[in-house]
């Protein structure tokens, strides 16, 4: 089972609602700056909020669709963020 498949099960258990509770400071694929998107957590090097990933996945989008819809976000970033969320919620 790959990281994307593992996270699918976490996603189905309301990850969208829980993502803000995670300590995103520990995830190197995201960054936060008061000058970007009102200080929201975004994918590193982009202005794409992490929240957008969870909203889109929960609404039925695939990882590949998300990467296509949000230029600048790399598939490996998405998988790393999802794995981080999965590990954080599992502990």
pLDDT score of 79: 96
Q: Classify strands 30-32 and 41-43 as parallel, antiparallel or unpaired.
A: antiparallel
In residues, how long is the chain? 91
pLDDT score of 83: 92
pLDDT score of 81: 95
Task: Classify domain 3-90 at the CATH class level.
Answer: mainly alpha
User: Rounded CA gap, 54 and 34, in Å?
Assistant: 21
User: Rounded CA gap, 91 and 88, in Å?
Assistant: 6
The reported pTM is 0.78
Give pLDDT tens digits along the chain (91 positions). 344 444 434 444 555 566 557 888 999 999 999 998 999 999 999 999 999 999 999 899 999 999 999 999 999 999 999 999 888 877 6
CA atoms within 13 A on the CB side of 9: 9
**Across-strand partners of 43?**
30
Domain spans of the chain, in order of start: 3-90
């Amino acid at each position: 089972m790959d990281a994307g498949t593992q996270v699918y099960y976490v996603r189905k258990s309301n990850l969208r609602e829980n993502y803000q509770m995670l300590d995103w400071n520990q995830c190197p694929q995201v960054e936060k700056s008061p000058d970007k998107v009102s200080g929201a957590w975004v994918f590193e090097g982009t202005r794409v909020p992490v929240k957008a990933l969870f909203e889109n996945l929960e609404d039925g989008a695939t990882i590949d669709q998300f990467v296509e819809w949000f230029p600048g976000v790399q598939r490996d970033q998405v998988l790393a963020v999802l794995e981080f969320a999965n590990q954080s919620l599992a502990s």
